Amino acid sequence: MTDLQTAAEAGTVGIERDRPAQRPRRRDKVFGFGFVVPLLAFITLAFNLPLLLTAAWSLVDPVSGSLTIAHYVEFATSSIYWTVIARTARVAFIVSVLCAVIGYPLAYWMTLLSRRGQVIALAIIVTSFWVSILVRTYAWIVVLGNAGLVNRALQYLGVIDRPIEFLYGELGVIIGMVNVLLPFMLLPLYAAMRQVDPRLRAVAYTLGASQGEFFRRVFFPLSLPALSASFVLVFILSLGFYITPAILGGGRVPLIANMLDILINRFPRWNLASAMSVVLLVLTLVLYGVYQRLRSRRGAASGQG
């Protein structure tokens, strides 16, 4: 959200505000905090506590109950776990790039639609949120399967004589994940692009900029923070994907979540799974830290320029 705000602020630079900023009084602030306390308590109990327990499990020997780092050692020294983590990172990166490549022009196109057109486009995107991931994932089997719509259409048209294998491999997983995650890219981007003041375009044209120049030098830089924020959001969400690789990967593209499932539900090795979850959490936090760093540096750079 902060990125959207940044984008919004950036987009409204130099435009006079006709409403005075409302500053809440101190007493209101304290009073407002009271409303948040139950929520904070709930989050601590329902989210942070189990997380800490998971972290604790990763350091416990299941037989003797004593403290041990054996699970981390096993994790670090066995190549198969790193294979899965590398695959997860690769798939997450490809999915994020594809979401950006598809989502950015789509969001831009949406901002150019009429008011009514935008409402309709938004409604279509939001409706896909209401359909469960499971249903959407299975729907791909109907669409992309060997006897699915796409393959039958292509065969009918004589483009191919053998069905294309979209599913049950990395390609199927990527298609399914892009489908599920695209709204997470599209909606923030659209919101950010709408915040870009339309008068900037007029100003740029007045100053002699071409359409391409306006996009390159004004519009794209203003939407870049939202783009990178959405990119990191999609990347982080991809890291935890379970259903799509389980169904569309045909058991051949296990990601980290599927590996955790195997360790927890197949071999009862909760402690090793806990250790791996902690590693995943740390990886995600590091990623987030790097992203924050990049962002603040860019902010400083643009401030100087």
Partner 1 sequence: MPRIALAIALASSTALSLVGTASAEPAKTLRILTAGGEWTDAVQKCVDKPFEEKYGIKVEVDTPAGYAKLAGLAQSGNVNVALVDLETTELERAHATGLLDPIDWEKVKPFEMFPDAKKPYGFASTYFSTIMAWRPDAKAPKNWQEFFDTVNFPGKRALPDYPGYVLAFAALADGVEPAKLFPLDLDRAFKTLNRVKKDVIWWTAGGQAPQLLQDNEAQYAIGWSGRLVSKPEIKHSFNQGMLDTSWWGAPKGADPAMQEAAWLYLHEYSDPQKQACVAQHISYTGPSPELDPLLPKDKLSQFPNYKANRDVQFVTDGKWWYDNAATVEKRWQEFKLSQ
Distance CA(102)–CA(185), nearest Å, equals 9
Contact status: 265 vs partner 1 (CB under 8 A) = yes
Contact status: 237 vs partner 1 (CB under 8 A) = no
Contact status: 262 vs partner 1 (CB under 8 A) = yes
Among 259, 260, 275, 280, binds partner 1 (CB under 8 A): 259
Closer CB to partner 1, 222 or 253, in the complex: 253
- What single-letter amino acid sits at 99? C
Contact status: 214 vs partner 1 (CB under 8 A) = no
CB 263 to partner 1: min, Å: 8
Closer CB to partner 1, 240 or 250, in the complex: 250
Contact status: 205 vs partner 1 (CB under 8 A) = no
Among 90, 252, 293, 297, binds partner 1 (CB under 8 A): 252
Closer CB to partner 1, 168 or 235, in the complex: 168
- What single-letter amino acid sits at 34? G
Contact status: 254 vs partner 1 (CB under 8 A) = yes
CA-based radius of gyration for the chain = 24
Print the SS3 string covering 197-231. CHHHHHHHHHCCCCHHHHHHHHHHHHHHHHHHHHH
Closer CB to partner 1, 68 or 146, in the complex: 146
CB 141 to partner 1: min, Å: 7
Contact status: 235 vs partner 1 (CB under 8 A) = no
DSSP string, 257-289: HHHHHIIIIIS--HHHHHHHHHHHHHHHHHHHH
- From the centroid of its chain, how far is CA 112? 25
Site for partner 1 in 72-91 (CB under 8 A): 79-81, 83-84
Total residues in contact with partner 1, by rule CB under 8 A: 26
Distance CA(100)–CA(184), nearest Å, equals 10
Q: Which stretch binds partner 1 (CB under 8 A): 95-103, 174-182, 197-205, 257-265?
A: 257-265
Q: Is the dihedral of CA 8, 13, 18, 24 positive or negative?
A: positive
Closer CB to partner 1, 125 or 264, in the complex: 264
Q: Which residues are bridge partners to 232 per DSSP?
A: none
Q: Binding mask 50-69 vs partner 1 (x if CB under 8 A, - otherwise)?
A: ------------x-------
CB 169 to partner 1: min, Å: 9
Site for partner 1 in 28-47 (CB under 8 A): none
Site for partner 1 in 133-172 (CB under 8 A): 141, 145-147, 163, 167-168
Which residues are near partner 1 by CB under 8 A? 62, 79-81, 83-84, 141, 145-147, 163, 167-168, 246, 250-252, 254, 259, 262, 264-268, 270
